[in-house]
Structure 1
């Protein structure tokens, strides 16, 4: 299934293919792939590994996959964002994201998350959830800026949710 890239004002969310996910896991860019220093991070490798496992178990996930976050101007990949898998039994998906240190603090993560939320909404999910460690206020701000309010907090995490 061919999934189209999604353009925002400053970014391009590029849907990962199996071959690209394998290169992320190996930390070896392909010919013509431009990766910012620090990409892929450990979270990107975990996400790509999960994507590959999901494809092996359930087949192509359609839009519910990982996406590389590329700067629209240069095409350089500065992070990743995506779904942890298909919607659950009540139609909710979980999202995750990360940026290389040099790309943080510029609003890229919130911009990318807003685009991902729109992908989820158009795909017909009932809601989107995410969480972040209590000591990660930058990630809390990302989700809140993208329209996902905090709905709960426990000993380790703040939980965010947006229903459609």
Structure 2
């Protein structure tokens, strides 16, 4: 397996496993490897878009370290139920942008907020000064996820609602 420079992110019910390039290519192809345990509906279009973004960021900036992409695995059985991660390295202000998604069968169970809380703590531990995210105005489920994870709505435009979490870097 290709090495990444970050460890998995554990949460009470989930394990966010760092994605590597080979894993991203398997997601894009829709073909699991021998060690992959994909839940029903995984990967979906959002997972494929995340894998594509991950490969693009890697090509442009190199190995992303702690601010890469992660597969969301159920700790109970190791099945992949979605993806979460950072859209790239921290910007000049020290902020990173997050995204996440779950297969339909895993929605509504608190997994997305749990995964996002794990990402927020991970970003803080690795020196980010804050985390940003956005969602369509009509996506109230995602808005609830960001609020439950501790992000606050900072603005909206005609299409999106923008959320942020900030802290003093360690």
Where does residue 98 of structure 2 map in the other structure? Answer: 95
Matches within 5 A, 1:1-164: 1-164=4-167
Q: TM-score, normalised by structure 2?
A: 0.94
Q: What's the C-alpha RMSD, in Å, of the aligned pairs?
A: 0.8
- Structure 1 Cα separation of the partners of residues 88 and 56 of structure 2: 10
**Deviation at residue 32 of structure 1 after TM alignment:** 2.2
Q: Give 5+ residue unaligned stretches, structure 2.
A: none
**Deviation at residue 2 of structure 1 after TM alignment:** 3.4
**Deviation at residue 126 of structure 1 after TM alignment:** 1.1
The structure 1 segments of at least 4 consecutive aligned residues displaced by more than 4 Å after TM superposition are none
Q: Give 5+ residue unaligned stretches, structure 1.
A: none
- Structure 1 Cα separation of the partners of residues 23 and 126 of structure 2: 23
Q: Contact 2:5–2:66 (CA<8 Å) still a contact in 1? A: no
Q: What SS is found at the alignment partner of 1:63? A: helix
- Provide, for residues 79-103 of structure 1, a one-character-per-residue CA deviation record: whole Å limited to 9, x for no partner: 0000000011111100000000000
Q: What SS is found at the alignment partner of 2:150? A: coil
Q: TM-score, normalised by structure 1?
A: 0.97
- Provide, for residues 47-70 of structure 1, a one-character-per-residue CA deviation record: whole Å limited to 9, x for no partner: 111111111121101011000000
Q: How many positions carry a matched residue from both structures? A: 164
